[in-house]
Amino acid sequence: MLRRSAGFLGRDTSHSVVVRVGHPATEMIALAAELSPDLVVLGTHRDRSFLAALHETTAQRIVRLTDRSVLVVADPADHPYDQIVAATDFSPGAMTALRAGHRLAPKAKITPVHMLQISYSGMLGTSSDASRSLEQSFRNDASEANLRWRQDLDLPASDTRFVVGAAYGGLQQAVRETGATLLTVGAHSRVAAPRSLLGSLATDLMRAPITDLLVARP
């Protein structure tokens, strides 16, 4: 079955087939350590029940325990990636993920998206002026961080979108509006850190991918 699938790669693409016995995550992590690949590719293949969703997925475990970039494929691949949404918090991890996405799809349009999660907004009561002032303060800080971040961004990318709200929902909206078929996100924790330290956004996106997801470490 693997050789039959590899046949779709085309005659000019060299490949090898490896079959290993053991737990998928354990064997993929070991193989990644042996081969030091530029990219590990995984496919999602089943819906998860409520109880199963409480446990770490194979993809989450692989990302947590390897220092390789990991592409989680959620959609059938019928054409090259042409639109990329890059989740960014202006961190090295986000930059690494964006660059990895560009290497994977050098002709794709890149749209960086930064989520503004406004702290204490619910404590301001009904004062619209106070809410606007608080939001503007967060926007100003994010804009300054964005300018510094983009000084190191030597890739073609559109202006950074600033979206107020929860990260998962905001990225889902950006993917839908741009028609993106690839979402990049940085993993923040050190390799082998507990799952809770992997980063809540990366964890949520791997559990329920919005579209194909590329996770990379700085």
- Output the DSSP codes for 75-108: S---S---EEEEE--SSHHHHHHHHHHHHH-TTS
Q: CA–CA separation, 93 vs 66, rounded Å?
A: 14
Question: What's the mean pLDDT in 64-75?
Answer: 89
Tell me the C-alpha to C-alpha distance, in Å, between residue 22 and each of 29, 31, 84.
Answer: 11, 12, 35
In terms of Cβ atoms closer than 10 Å to its own Cβ (0-12, 13-18, 19+), residue 171 is buried
pLDDT at 98 over 60: yes
| pLDDT tens digit sequence for 150-159 | 888 888 889 9
Q: Are the C-beta atoms of 105 and 78 separated by less than 8 Å? A: no
3-class DSSP state for residue 111? Answer: strand
Q: Which position has the higher pLDDT, 164 or 114?
A: 114
Q: Which domains does the chain have, with CATH numbers?
A: 2-216 (3.40.50.12370)
pLDDT value of position 45: 66
Lowest mean pLDDT among 14-18, 116-120, 136-140, 181-185: 116-120
Q: Looking at residue 191, what is its pLDDT?
A: 56
So what's the pLDDT on residue 205? Answer: 86
SS3 label, residue 127: coil
Q: Per the structure block, which two tokens stand in for 190?
A: 């050190």
Q: So what's the pLDDT on residue 199?
A: 61
Return the bridge partners of 182, or none.
84, 212
- How many angstroms separate the CA atoms of 91 and 149, rounded? 8
* Tens digit of each residue's pLDDT (9 = 90 or more) over 131-173: 777 778 888 888 999 999 888 888 888 999 998 888 889 999 9
φ and ψ at 188, to 5 degrees?
Answer: -100, -20
- Considering the chain, what is the average pLDDT of its residues? 83
d(CA 125, CA 179): 37
